Amino acid sequence: MSAQLKIAERLSVSRTEIEDFLFEEAALLDDWKLTEWLALFEPGASYHVPPAGSPDDADPAATLFYVMDDYHRLSERVKRLLKRTAHVEYPHSRCRHMISNVRILGGDDRAFTVTSNFATYRSKRGRTELYFGHHNYVMTRADGSIRIRQKTSFLDSDDIAEQGKVSIII
Amino acid sequence: MGMEMAFAGQTPPLVDDRSANGIFRVSRHAFVEQSVFESEQREIFNKCWLYLGHDSEVAAPGDFLTRSVVGRKIIFTRNKAGKVGAFFNTCPHRGALVCREKQGSANLFRCFYHSWAFDLDGKLINRPGHESYADDANANGEHNLVPVPRLESYRGLYFLNFDRNACDLASYLGNSMEFIDLVMDQSADGMEVIGGTQEYGFKANWKLLAENSADGYHGQPTHATYFDYVMSTNGNLGDNVVKISKPHDLGQGHAVVEYGAPWGRPIAKAVPAWGEEGEREAAALRADLTQRLGAERADRIAYTNRNMVIFPNFVINDIMAITLRTFEPVGPGQMRVNAWALGPKGEAPKARERRLYNFLEFLGPGGFATPDDCEALALCQEGYSNMAEAGWNDISKGLNQERPTIEDEVQMRAFWREWSRRIEGERA
Ligand code: FES
Ligand SMILES: [Fe+2]
């Protein structure tokens, strides 16, 4: 039996369930339903984007990231992005979030870690930018539903000279 | 008087500086033309002192990093004796990039193509089949890595110059040194670059970022959502931003604005969100500054922000955190940006974390502000496609004001006068 299956057996959550959750998350982001997206996080959750090319153990307390949001700032980010005065995203860019290679890496029913690959396209004023890499999650289950406790998005490009900014939730 | 009348049939200059008449304009051709881009390479980037990196980035003997400076590939390193050097990252044999890592620690650099090896001073120390070369083949050092023509530092900041005959760095930095000191004096143990470089880009001409980096006029309209965030986090913005603000033309194209802080400063102005602990720590930092530097200088460091542009493309912004930033053209309408966070050596882990958290509330490609600058600059550049019919940028705000503020355009005019002197020559 593969290590993956062994972990899944210990947990009451299945990969299919996690995939459904991640696809739903991607759909909310594609549709700019950011308030609903924020509701996928538990209060106290955090959201990080380290500099492109960072290793999985990059530490936002010692390294300059792109995004280092605690729950307060993440809520503020959502508020900001939904305003007309968030100029870079007004009018909203068109985005498509692709999620694949979903794996449950470990944990128990109280907290488990999940990883997925991503490719996110952003299009605005005749230009299209591609962000690709992997997301790492710590998830929990409360009252039967899955919640995000921690999400970090790792970009694989050498830098973001082409994309220029991380103005959307990738 | 119209443009055409003013220049009586002659080609108008790119920088139309008639300050006495309240006119200061820059031609949009300056942002778009390939010929201007080429004269900038020749007259500015090949002659000015350009920021390379900070002492702390190559802290130990053998440390190195590779970095692009206006398209040149540079190895920045510290040799075994502790001396900092900079070399062109190209093999004297056939030209291959010798060093392919972004950073690390090395005893030697080996070009993998034919395996020539160089020590940390760039000297050839080994190559396969050395017996087939004449004994004096490297007598003139032609088989060594080529060092940059000039490398000098001021308070840990290393600059290079591609012009062997350039004036020394201190003369070049001139009045900006006083303001560099206000940053470097923040710690008795010196300052360091904190891990990580933000490498991003703007789809705009590099000079738009030189203007933007010390532009107080765009703050409220462009960064409205950032100020909303500060309000919702701290409840107020204070009222001294503009009141105590002062732009300084530092000469030689350098300029700085000083102004009050509507946000928290790691050294050392606490905001309510930092709690009592944060307030206590800020007070302790201010006490240390006062003891070392006196009350007046301590207050200036703790409570005022500084946005400084060192001509042509180096920025030190001492705001809700300290950022060092360079930006270089890769064409008339595209630039690459490198940005770093600077902090005191030996900063307490909690304070370091707060500094980085503070940095990211505003700065960088994922901050609440920089992405909107990115958009504003891209829109300017796109607007210049209309330059045949709509050809001029206005930079006259605050001309002839007795007491200009951060919301005037003194800083940009300082930049443009120097730019014009170098590109268009001295004019009567
Ligand atoms: S190109 Fe470097 S050894 Fe030949
Ligand atoms: Fe700005």
- Residue B150: CB atoms within 10 Å: 18
CB contact under 8 Å between A87 and B194, yes or no, is no
Q: Tell whether B102 is covered by a domain.
A: yes
Residue where one domain finishes, among candidates B161, B191, B223? B161
pLDDT digits (tens, 9 = 90+) for B332-361: 999 999 999 999 999 999 999 999 999 999
- At residue B237, does pLDDT exceed 90? no
Domain that holds residue B214: 175-423
pLDDT digits (tens, 9 = 90+) for B381-398: 999 999 999 999 999 999
State the total domains in chain B: 2
Q: Where do we find the tokens 């190209």?
A: B90
Taking all residues of chain B, what is their mean pLDDT, rounded to a whole number? 95
pLDDT digits (tens, 9 = 90+) for B51-79: 999 999 999 999 999 999 999 999 999 99
CB contact under 8 Å between B228 and A65, yes or no, is no
Q: B96 CB under 6 A from ligand 1? A: yes
- At residue B419, does pLDDT exceed 50? yes
- At residue A120, does pLDDT exceed 50? yes
- pTM of the complete model beyond 0.90: yes
Residues in chain B within 8 Å Cβ distance of A79 = 228, 232
Q: What are the beta bridge partners of residue B157?
A: B54, B154
For an interface test with A, give the residue of B68, B218, B225 to mutate (most A CBs within 10 A).
B225
- At residue B250, does pLDDT exceed 90? yes
CB contact under 8 Å between B200 and A164, yes or no, is yes
Using a CB–CB cutoff of 8 Å, tell me whether A65 touches chain B.
yes
Mean pLDDT across the stretch B155-174?
Answer: 98
Nearest residue (CA) to ligand 1, atom 3: B114
Q: B113 CB under 6 A from ligand 1? A: yes
The verdict on B242 and B300 lying in the same domain is yes
Hey, CA dihedral for B199, B205, B209, B210, is it positive or negative?
A: positive
For an interface test with A, give the residue of B375, B380, B382 to mutate (most A CBs within 10 A).
B375
Residues in chain B within 8 Å Cβ distance of A73 = 229, 361
Mean pLDDT across the stretch A44-73?
Answer: 97
Q: What size, in residues, is chain A?
A: 170
- At residue B325, does pLDDT exceed 60? yes
B372 CA to middle of ligand 2, Å?
7
CATH assignment at residue B85 = 2.102.10.10
Residue where one domain finishes, among candidates B139, B161, B183? B161
CB contact under 8 Å between B201 and A164, yes or no, is yes
How far is it, in rounded angstroms, from Cα A60 to Cα A154? 13
What is the reported pLDDT for B285? 96
What is the reported pLDDT for B3? 52
Using a CB–CB cutoff of 8 Å, tell me whether A88 touches chain B.
yes
- At residue A151, does pLDDT exceed 80? yes
How far is it, in rounded angstroms, from Cα B85 to Cα A46? 41
The closest-lying atom of ligand 1 relative to the alpha carbon of residue B115 is: 3
Confidence of residue A11 (pLDDT cuts 50, 70, 90): confident
Residue where one domain finishes, among candidates B112, B137, B161? B161
The verdict on B86 and B189 lying in the same domain is no
Nearest residue (CA) to ligand 1, atom 4: B114
Using a CB–CB cutoff of 8 Å, tell me whether B222 touches chain A.
yes
Domain ranges of chain A: 3-155
The closest-lying atom of ligand 1 relative to the alpha carbon of residue B96 is: 1
The verdict on B203 and B138 lying in the same domain is no
What is the reported pLDDT for A113? 96
pLDDT above 70: percentage of residues in chain B: 98
The verdict on B301 and B217 lying in the same domain is yes
CB pairs under 8 A between A and B: 119
The verdict on B133 and B201 lying in the same domain is no
Kindly state the tokens that stand for B346: 């030996």
Q: What is the 3-state secondary structure (H, E, C) of A47-82?
A: EEECCCCCCCCCCCCCECCCEEECHHHHHHHHHHHC
How far is it, in rounded angstroms, from Cα B120 to Cα B87? 10
The verdict on B150 and B252 lying in the same domain is no
The A residues from 151 to 170 touching B (CB cutoff 8 Å) are 158-167
Mean pLDDT across the stretch A8-37?
Answer: 93
Mean pLDDT across the stretch B156-171?
Answer: 98
pLDDT above 70: percentage of residues in chain A: 95
Tell me the nearest-neighbour CA distance from A28 into chain B, angstroms: 20
Could you tell me if A46 and A74 are in contact, meaning their C-beta atoms sit under 8 angstroms apart?
A: yes
Using a CB–CB cutoff of 8 Å, tell me whether B277 touches chain A.
no
Tell me the nearest-neighbour CA distance from A12 into chain B, angstroms: 36
- At residue B423, does pLDDT exceed 80? yes
Which of B201, B349, B360 is facing A161, going by the closest CB pair?
B201
pLDDT digits (tens, 9 = 90+) for B266-319: 999 999 999 999 999 999 999 999 999 999 999 999 999 999 999 999 999 999
Tell me the nearest-neighbour CA distance from A55 into chain B, angstroms: 12
What is the reported pLDDT for B235? 86
Using a CB–CB cutoff of 8 Å, tell me whether B361 touches chain A.
yes
Mean pLDDT across the stretch B92-111?
Answer: 97
- At residue B4, does pLDDT exceed 70? no
Q: What are the beta bridge partners of residue B254?
A: B251
Confidence of residue B400 (pLDDT cuts 50, 70, 90): confident
Hey, CA dihedral for B128, B95, B79, B136, is it positive or negative?
A: positive
Mean pLDDT across the stretch B234-244?
Answer: 78
What is the reported pLDDT for B7? 79
The verdict on B240 and B377 lying in the same domain is yes
Q: Tell whether B37 is covered by a domain.
A: no
Q: What is the separation of C-alpha B143 from the centre of its chain, rounded to a whole number of angstroms?
A: 33
CATH assignment at residue B405 = 3.90.380.10
Mean pLDDT across the stretch A49-59?
Answer: 96
Ligand nearest to the CA of B375: 2
Confidence of residue B1 (pLDDT cuts 50, 70, 90): very low
Residues in chain A within 8 Å Cβ distance of B366 = 49, 65-67, 165-167
Ligand nearest to the CA of B222: 2
The verdict on B375 and B252 lying in the same domain is yes
Residues in chain A within 8 Å Cβ distance of B201 = 160-164
The closest-lying atom of ligand 1 relative to the alpha carbon of residue B98 is: 2
Q: What ipTM was assigned to the predicted interfaces of this complex?
A: 0.95
What is the reported pLDDT for B120? 98
pLDDT above 90: percentage of residues in chain B: 93
CATH C-level class of A3-155: alpha beta
What is the reported pLDDT for B299? 95
What is the reported pLDDT for B428? 46
- At residue A51, does pLDDT exceed 80? yes
User: B6-10, B157-161, B224-228, B313-317 — which is least confidently predicted?
Assistant: B6-10
Q: How far is CA B88 from CA B76, B99, B121, in A?
A: 9, 10, 12
Inter-axis angle of helices B275-293 and B349-362, nearest 10: 100
The verdict on B113 and B136 lying in the same domain is yes
Confidence of residue B5 (pLDDT cuts 50, 70, 90): low
How far is it, in rounded angstroms, from Cα B412 to Cα B216? 11
User: B12-16, B83-87, B208-212, B244-248 — which is least confidently predicted?
Assistant: B244-248
Nearest residue (CA) to ligand 1, atom 1: B94
